[in-house]
Structure 1
């Protein structure tokens, strides 16, 4: 995002709000960010585990399930919709925006926890599962790959295979290592200026979701700034970020730590790890550090792409994923 564009957008927003006959408030649904399932009844959704999640499916519900888990925390599945191609191959493909993310219901910060996110995932599986013998494959990207691993660590017997695309660290030590090497906003960079500029116009208290989600959406432009360490080619589409869940789970990781690897030695199914060639923060060495916790695994490089490999290089990701699923299905 260019600074000039950011300034013009902010100024236009101010004049727009001032000129409307009907007064608009920036913390009301639909004025800054898209409405969630709580405001828009036309959005596809499911009610599970005490929340309402934006969700949709493709394919025959009786076929083996491939459940996609988006990154973040707080992002959504919009930039991974190409994964629905697997429905043409005989899989039941499930997408959902995680609690507090994308277009799903928002909650106060104090309710979030990693076990709750795992419970939500389990509830989604049970919601869509049509028989006890239906196979379930998890396909996670970034934080979604971490969440998939956390689920396997608790319920190794419930997952028939897993595709993990650039997890951001399967325990606190690895997460800190990856965090230090990636998504760094350098002082005086254009992206930093954008974030600080918008902060002059918009503030937001802990649970003012519309304002905070908008700010996170603007701030996310630094992830694809020129020369970013993760090799991200440019912006990819999203509906809405979830600032509160991002902040809550980050605080938990920093203050309490986490470890998704304590029980992985009981999971003997082969696990597929994917990483982008251009992500200098991840690469083969970091993939090996994560994959070692699984007794059986394979690591595949996706050429000429970075962290957003599923969106930008789905044509290269798809045959690797298809071959993996075919062997296990």
Structure 2
């Protein structure tokens, strides 16, 4: 069914009709799933002045592997295959970053890179059970950028890192990757579908339910047939964080960023993964990012693209496990 039709039906149900009563789009849970603040039954932790949707797998005494999801503004649901590592003796931590997924929402002007780094520090402190417990970061896309940012700021705190197709470790690389992968043809049918919903819903800054709903519809272009990132199709997602995405886009455009200034001080071997079908990334881009580290290994994952962790975990898993075991 055409996305326009699905959108119109969804909006009609959400805004105008219900079998029993009219629904208010501003009521939590009507347009998008509730956050941990609105639904206390969800697994969560309260750290650094926010409440994060979070869960763990494995023995709390084992080495920590913290999964950092993509976005900014996505969530960890499509990375849950990583929990398999708990069977191999690792303590796996997932959390929806501040303002994303099912975590607590905040005003746009409160977000910063340093705040996200502070959140990660607080997550590590929350789950670490003893000082010598090893901590590994496993970042995908934006989460891999955040991994680089954390190591760049605190190279002595992390015992190893896995980078699955980081969007770019500095503004120049991010722009290069974005030009190749995310540009929409303004005259394409995909773009028409993306913009169609705006006839029905508007959303001012910090109207999180409406903005998150709109972003969910808009994001469908990323896995359209023939996309340059080689994404096979949709992967599971609880809820987008539109305000976070806009906040970090503004930071990138207005302030710029560079997560590479101290990476050459990090002597531990790091692992880079890329999907063979992602035309926008590839070996050449992986080499550009890996070059910032003194010791790195690059591995191609065949028959998949940017969402390799969800679609081709069986191919990703042995590479990740071998790397972690080599440092554990």
Same fold (TM over 0.5): yes
* Category of TM-score, reference length = shorter chain: over 0.9
2:155 equivalent in structure 1: 156
Is the contact made by 1:191 and 1:219 (CA closer than 8 Å) also made in structure 2? no
2:230 equivalent in structure 1: 231
Q: Distance in 1 between matches of 2:157 and 2:126?
A: 14
Is the contact made by 2:159 and 2:327 (CA closer than 8 Å) also made in structure 1? yes
Q: Distance in 2 between matches of 1:282 and 1:242?
A: 24
Matched, 1:178 2:171: no
Matched, 1:108 2:118: no
Count of aligned positions:
327
Q: Distance in 1 between matches of 2:201 and 2:180?
A: 29
Given the alignment, which residue of 1, 5, 11 partners 1:13?
Answer: 11
Is the contact made by 1:183 and 1:228 (CA closer than 8 Å) also made in structure 2? no
Q: Distance in 2 between matches of 1:237 and 1:16?
A: 21
Q: Secondary structure at the match of 1:30?
A: coil
1:270–1:15 distance in 2 versus 1, CA, 3 Å: closer
Please state how far the C-alpha of 1:22 moved relative to its aligned partner. Answer: 3.2
Q: Secondary structure at the match of 1:158?
A: coil
Structure 1 residues 40-119: aligned runs within 5 Å:
40-119=39-118
Q: Distance in 2 between matches of 1:212 and 1:19?
A: 21
1:325 equivalent in structure 2: 324
RMSD over equivalenced CA pairs, Å: 1.1
Structure 1 residues 141-220: aligned runs within 5 Å:
141-220=140-219
TM-score calculated relative to the size of structure 2 = 0.97
Large movers: runs of 4+ above 6 Å: none
Q: Secondary structure at the match of 2:156?
A: helix
Is the contact made by 2:195 and 2:218 (CA closer than 8 Å) also made in structure 1? no
Q: Distance in 1 between matches of 2:243 and 2:48?
A: 19
- Post-superposition CA distance 1:136-191 (Å, at most 9, x none): 00000000000011000111111000000000000111111111111222223232
- Structure 1 unaligned regions, length at least 5: none
Please state how far the C-alpha of 1:236 moved relative to its aligned partner. Answer: 0.4
